[in-house]
Amino acid sequence: MARVKILVVEDEGIVAKDIADTLKKQGYDVPAIAFSGEEAVEKAGRMRPDLVLMDIVLKGRMDGIEAAGQIRERFDIPVLYLTAHTDDETIKRAKITEPFAYITKPFEARELRTNIEIALYRHKAERKILDYQAQLKSLASELALAEERERRRIAVELHDGIGQSLVISKLGLDEVRGSESSAALGEAVKKASKGIEQIISKVSSLSFDLSSPIPYDLGLEAAVADWLDERMGKDYVIATEFEDDGQPKPLDDDIRAVLFRDVRELLMNVVKHAGAKKVKVFIGAVAGRIQISVEDDGCGFDPARVAATAAKAGKFGLFSIRERLKQLDGGIEIESAPGSGTRVTVTAPLKGEETAKIRKRVSLTGE
């Protein structure tokens, strides 16, 4: 089994050698010693040790706390502080970098080993949890896309199968009613025809709600404009405005379906929570990405506070949108304040090489 590699960061040569000798006696490998923060970051990136043992006061412009922050963020390597500094300000700064331990000098060899082993185990456990989370996110995204495809399949079946059969039946009844001499029978056929007409309307509405054909047939822009006019303008009597920059926006079918669903959710949030009199939707293409903004003149809200209270209440609307978009290499930005309305902007890659990368990433095996 390969020995655990530990990078020692200490600007006092004699102290650094003593720490390295102690580690080697305990069975660890010390591939290098760094004497400055800059050197520590460079060697951590090049050697990729299993752990960094970091002093705080170092030579150079970068101290140990800043170096630890960069190593943790850039390379995901656990850092243990080994220092003589225990003042409140130093500890406060050190906590921000999320160290795996804070050991004060002079130290006991057993204490050092115990903290190293716990840090290594904790980091391994955290990596495993993060891997599981990534896999779960990929699975959730794949399930969401599978749901959209199934909704589309059912909607097509309703429209092309059941809907068309009902239309043919109604035409047959209308033909019988027109040729029947009995007034009673004619009235019965008329009622039956009316009932079928209502069923046709309901099937059509259900098919549309399950999966609108407009995004696939006419494009996302036409679908959003239609939904904005029909639902927001007529059903909810909210003034609407739609703007399209007129640029081509080729989209993968899965991304198109997710974006249309997300825009509908954002517009329904306006209806339910904003108390708005007007809503505007803009769709444009910027640097190889589609950008959609939904802006209203409603009551507004504090995004941070709403996110915290929503999680406690088990409401994950905006969070779900964020996660769906993240798995498609998309994003969401929320600009709002109480009394100032709200603007939500979502982005996603246009069809091309990025889409192929997304398809490879969004799989059941995760990244």
Regarding whether 238 and 154 lie in a shared domain, the answer is: no
Q: Nearest-5° angle of CA 195, CA 198, CA 202?
A: 140
Domain around 46? 6-107
Q: Residue 277: helix, strand or coil by DSSP?
A: coil
In the sheet where 278-286 sits, what is the strand order?
A: 239-244, 278-286, 289-296, 342-349, 331-336
Regarding whether 99 and 14 lie in a shared domain, the answer is: yes
The more confidently predicted of residues 121 and 212 is 121
- The residue among 158, 182, 210 that closes a domain is 210
Sign of CA dihedral 314, 317, 319, 323: positive
- pLDDT value at position 365? 43
Neighbours of 117 (CB within 10 A): 12
Provide the pLDDT confidence category of residue 196 given band limits of 50, 70 and 90: confident
Regarding whether 148 and 260 lie in a shared domain, the answer is: no
* Domain-embedded: residue 128: no
Q: For position 278, which CATH number holds?
A: 3.30.565.10
At 16-58, the pLDDT tens digits run: 999 999 999 999 999 999 999 999 999 999 999 999 999 988 8
- The residue among 172, 190, 210 that closes a domain is 210
Regarding whether 227 and 206 lie in a shared domain, the answer is: no
Contact 321, 265 (CB under 8 A): yes
* Domain-embedded: residue 36: yes
* Domain-embedded: residue 321: yes
Supply the pTM of this predicted model: 0.51
* Domain-embedded: residue 124: no
Task: Please tell me the distance from the alpha carbon of residue 295 to that of residue 297, in angstroms, as a whole number.
Answer: 7
* Domain-embedded: residue 176: yes
Regarding whether 220 and 195 lie in a shared domain, the answer is: no
Radius of gyration of the chain (CA): 31
* Domain-embedded: residue 113: no
% of the chain residues with pLDDT over 90: 34
- pLDDT value at position 367? 43
Regarding whether 88 and 14 lie in a shared domain, the answer is: yes
Roughly what angle, to the nearest 10 degrees, separates helices 317-327 and 303-313? 100
- Alpha carbon dihedral 155, 290, 241, 266, in 10-degree steps, equals 60
* Domain-embedded: residue 317: yes
% of the chain residues with pLDDT over 70: 76
Backbone angles phi, psi at 47, to 5 degrees: -95, -20
